[in-house]
Amino acid sequence: MLDGRTSPFDRVALDEVPIAAAALRPRPPAAAYIFRGRAPAQVAAATAFGLPLPQEACTSAEIGARAVLWLGPDEWQLLAPEAEAEAIQAAFAEHLAGTPHSLVPVGERNVAFEIEGPEAEAVLNAHCPLDLHITCFAIGMCTRTLYGKAEILLWRLGAQRFYVGCWRSFLPYVWGLTREARLEYET
């Protein structure tokens, strides 16, 4: 339990012994926001968040524990440690006062896990229609996509490491599909 909240990972079967081919790890709760705005708001948001907003489709930017993921021509997901939520909101209020924009907190709605290992790409491709080969979906790329029947946010963190984000209510389904797809690689 986190500050009176239950973790959605309490409702899924976690690995007692990680599978080296594709290990699954819950990510801690995050301060997560969807930011939307035009050019003046984008410049101010970069200052407020301390990180430039990627301008190229399906790319990300990171500094320390903060990240910005491009989701559309005027839409980004901002991620930071949960403890930074109040500071982020205060910085946006200061730097974007009077500038039309939208900053919607989605940290309570969203959860994420990582999948890492030599078969992570193949496991994800069991239920994701994208070509996840590293030459097509390079390190740092991110996108919204379908995973089975659920929408996810997929972000390649490394050659064999991915971030999978989804709505809390979809976690048992997405986690279960991923665990099931790994069965082929268990030894």
Inter-CA distances, 35 with 49, 57, 79, 89, Å: 11, 15, 11, 12
Q: What is the 3-class SS of the chain, one letter each residue?
A: CECCECCHHHHCCCCCCCCCCCEEEECCCEEEEEEECCHHHHHHHHHHHCCCCCCCCCCEEEECCEEEEEEECCEEEEEEEHHHHHHHHHHHHHHCCCCCCEEEECCCCEEEEEEECCCHHHHHHCCCCCCCCCCCCCCCCEEEEEECCEEEEEEEEECCEEEEEEEHHHHHHHHHHHHHHHHHHCC
Q: CA 123 to CA 43: how far, in whole Å?
A: 38
- Quick one: pLDDT at residue 14? 75
Q: Where are the domains of the chain?
A: 21-185
Q: Does 38 have pLDDT greater than 70?
A: yes
Q: Does 145 have pLDDT greater than 90?
A: yes
Q: Does 11 have pLDDT greater than 80?
A: no
Q: CA 17 to CA 3: how far, in whole Å?
A: 28
Percent of the chain with pLDDT over 70: 95
What is the fold of 21-185?
A: Gyrase A; domain 2 (3.30.1360)
Q: How many CA atoms lie within 13 A of 7 on its CB side?
A: 14
Q: For residue 172, what pLDDT band results from cuts at 50, 70 and 90?
A: very high
- Quick one: pLDDT at residue 184? 83
- The pTM of this model reads 0.92
- Quick one: pLDDT at residue 1? 38
- Quick one: pLDDT at residue 185? 79
For residue range 71-127, list pLDDT tens digits in order. 999 999 999 999 999 999 999 999 999 999 999 999 999 999 999 999 999 999 999
Q: In this predicted structure, which of 42-46, 63-67, 111-115, 181-185 has the lowest mean pLDDT?
A: 181-185
Residue 111's DSSP bridge partners are: 166
- Quick one: pLDDT at residue 17? 62
